[in-house]
Every structure is written in C-alpha cells, then in structure tokens.
Amino acid sequence: RECDKLRSVLEQKAQSAASPAGGAAPASPRSEQLGNDLKEKAVLPADGASTRAKKLAVSAEPTNFETQATTLQHFHKTAGSKQLIRDAVHKNDFLKQLAKEQIIEIVECMYEMRARAGQWVIQEGEPGDRLFVVAEGELQVSREGQLLGTLRPGIVMGELAILYNCT
C-alpha cells in the first residue's frame, strides 16, 4: 500500500514536471532531481503487476520494556550441584552452543526441585517453560502413555525453555 502511495506521488511529480499545463507551476530543479533519485532507488512493481508481496514466515521474540527490565534470580547451590548442571549443559548438543556467560547465568538461576517416585515433573501439553537437570534417580519420558525413554543423572530436559527465552 505504501508503495502504491509512493508511486502515485512520484507519477504526479513526474507528470507535473513534464507538462506544466493547467496553471501549475513547473517543478523546481531540486524537486525534479529528488523525484528522479527516488524513481531510481525505489523498487516498485511494474504497472499491472501485483503489488502484494508474498507472505513470509518471521519469528522473533517480542521486545518491550517489561522484557528488557527482567532481573534473573540467582539461587545458592553447592559447588557439586553447579558442576553437575554445567556438565549436563555441555553434554547437550543444543545448549553447549551457548556463550560461556549464558551458561553461567543458567547455572546460577537454576534451583532444586524434588520429585517423589511416580510424580509427574512435567506433563505432555503443559508449556515447556523450565529447564531440568536430573541430579539423582531416574525420570521416565512418555508420549500418549507410551514409554519413550529414561533420563538419568546428568541429563538436561526442557531445552525449549531456553529457545523461547522463558524467564
């Protein structure tokens, strides 16, 4: 739509510069030069061509003041717990690509969550807004009631929380 408006203005300027009929004052050399410069630099569709661009898929995280003002909370943990988290992150194909500072921030922001035997840690369909590292015991992973695998100590689960920038 903006392109159509620009094209219309440019065409009017070009026509008025070419023929000052109808009592209109001729375009000044400066405005004529500006019109020519715009025509050269503008990429506009040819007459009769569709002015509608193809749809593109664009993905980006929203940027607003609230997001930028988020302060991450750090939790105390033992040196052993920090090392377990760090090692688990470095073993994960996705997370090991993060910058050193990002990994340090992940380690500092993680906190302990205890689960009883048979308790769900996260269920299918819930938002994946947390990152987990198995510290002890085992976690079973299932989909639609079918067992897919077992996670043991030192394994990360929930990488999408990092991908979607959950805080």
Q: Which domain, by its residues, includes 36?
A: 1-58
- Three-state SS for 87-131 is HHHHHCCCHHHCCHHHHHHHHHHCCCCCCCCCCCCCCCCCCCCCC
Nearest Cα to 89, choosing from 30, 27, 132, 34?
A: 132
Give percent above pLDDT 70 in the chain: 57
Count: domains in the chain = 2
Asked whether residue 54 falls in the same domain as residue 126, the answer is no
42 and 12 belong to one structural domain: yes
Structural domain contains residue 64: no
CATH number for 122? 2.60.120.10
Do you know the residue count of the chain?
167
Residue 97, pLDDT above cutoff 80: yes
Question: Would the pLDDT of 40 be above 80?
Answer: no
Question: What pLDDT does 145 receive?
Answer: 87
Q: Is the pLDDT reported for residue 85 higher than 80?
A: yes
Same domain, 49 and 77: no
- 91/32 same-domain check: no
- Cβ neighbours for 13, distance < 8 A, ≥ 6 positions apart: 27, 31, 32, 35
Residues 2, 49 share a domain:
yes
87 and 133: one domain?
yes
Residue range 123-162, pLDDT digits in tens: 888 888 889 999 999 999 998 889 999 999 999 998 888 7
| More reliable by pLDDT, 64 or 119 | 119
Q: Do 3 and 34 belong to one domain?
A: yes
> Given this model, what pLDDT does residue 82 score?
96
- Whether 76 and 54 share a structural domain: no
Co-location of 51 and 90 in the same domain: no
Q: Are residues 77 and 16 in the same domain?
A: no
Q: 52-61, 80-89, 133-142: which range is least confident on average?
A: 52-61
Model pTM? 0.56
